[in-house]
Amino acid sequence: MTLVDVRVLPIATRLQAADKIRVLPDFALPDLDWFNTAPCPAHTTLEDGQAQIPPCRTCGIRFRKHQRVGVAWLYMRGHGLIADQVGTGKTGIAAGLVAAMKQIGELDRSRIVVIVKPSALGQWAKELHRFLPKLVLTTAEGPRAERVNRYCAPWEILVIGYQMFVRDQDLLTHFPVAAVIIDDVDPLRNPATQTSYAIKTLAHRSPRVVILNGTPLQKRLQELHSVLDPVGGLGVFGSVTSFRRRYLREELVRTYNPRAGRMITTRNVVGYRNLDDFVAKAAPMTLRRTPVHIDDVDLPLIQPHNVYLDLHPEQQRRYAELKKGVVQIIKDEGVLVKQTKAAAQFLYGAKICAGLNTLGDPDGPGKSVKLDWVEQALVDGDLSDEKVVVFAHFTDTVDALKNRLATAGVGHVVIWGRDNSRTARANAVTRFWDDPTCRVLIGTEAIEASLNLQVSRHLINVDQLMNPARMQQLAGRIRRDGSCWRSVYVHNLLTNGTYEEDILDVLSREQALADTVWGESNQLFEALSPIALLHLLGRTRRG
- Considering only CA atoms, which of 78, 64, 62, 68 is closest in space to residue 21? 68
Binned at pLDDT 50, 70 and 90, residue 23 comes out as very high
Provide CB contacts within 8 A for 456, sequence distance 6+. 386, 387, 388, 389, 432, 441, 478, 488
Q: Tens of pLDDT along 406-421?
A: 999 999 999 998 887 8
What does the mean pLDDT of the chain come to?
86
Q: Does residue 308 share a domain with residue 220?
A: no
- The residue out of 287, 321, 343 marking a domain boundary is 287
Note whether 401 and 252 are same-domain residues: no
Domain closes at, from 287, 309, 324: 287
Helix (H) or strand (E) holding 243: helix 240-247
Asked whether the predicted pLDDT for residue 490 surpasses 80, the reply is yes
For the stretch 301-332, pLDDT in tens is: 888 888 999 999 999 999 998 888 876 765 66
CATH number of the domain that 460 lies in?
A: 3.40.50.300
Kindly state whether residue 492 falls inside one of the protein's structural domains: yes
Dmax over Cα atoms in the chain, in whole Å? Answer: 76
Q: Is residue 91 part of a domain?
A: yes
Whether the predicted pLDDT of 185 surpasses 70: yes
Same domain for 268 and 415, yes or no, is: no
How many domains does the chain contain in total? 2
For residues 524-535, average pLDDT: 44
Together in a domain, 224 and 350: no
Alpha carbon distance 502, 1 (integer Å):
56
Do 420 and 319 share a structural domain? yes
Q: Which residue in 8, 207, 3 sits closest to 104, CA to CA?
A: 3
Alpha-helical segments (H) within 391-441: 395-408, 422-434
Q: How confident is the model at residue 39 (pLDDT cuts 50, 70, 90)?
A: confident
- Please indicate, yes or no, whether residues 17 and 131 belong to a single structural domain of this protein: yes
CATH of the domain at 149: 3.40.50.10810
- Asked if residue 523 has pLDDT above 70, the reply is no
Answer whether residue 343 shows pLDDT above 60. Answer: yes
Q: Model confidence at 517, in pLDDT bands (50, 70, 90)?
A: low
pLDDT given for residue 335 in this prediction = 55
For residue 429, tell me if it sits in a domain. Answer: yes
Q: Which residues make beta-bridge pairs with 89?
A: none
Question: 1 near 30, Cβ under 8 Å?
Answer: yes
Selected residue with higher pLDDT from 531 and 435: 435
pLDDT of residue 502: 79
Summarize pLDDT for 406-464 with one digit per residue, the tens.
999 999 999 998 887 888 888 999 999 999 999 999 999 989 877 889 999 999 999 98
Q: Are residues 161 and 263 in the same domain?
A: yes
Domain that residue 407 falls in: 301-538
Is residue 81 in a domain?
yes
Could you tell me if 379 and 528 lie in one domain?
Answer: yes
Q: Are 493 and 524 in contact (CB under 8 A)?
A: no
pLDDT band at 53 (very low <50, low <70, confident <90, very high): very low
460 touches 391 (CB < 8 A): yes
pLDDT at position 258 is: 67
Do 440 and 487 lie in one domain? The reply is yes
Q: What is the DSSP letter of 300?
A: P
Q: Are residues 149 and 260 in the same domain?
A: yes
User: Which of 231, 257, 287 is at the close of a domain?
Assistant: 287
- Please tell me the predicted confidence (pLDDT) of residue 206: 95
Same domain, 409 and 268: no
360 shares a domain with 268:
no
Q: Is the pLDDT of residue 183 over 50?
A: yes
Q: What is the CA radius of gyration of the chain?
A: 24
Rounded mean pLDDT of 16-21?
96
The closest alpha carbon to 112, from 135, 134, 93, belongs to 135
Q: Which residues contact 302 (CB under 8 A, 6 or more apart)?
A: 475, 479, 487, 488, 490
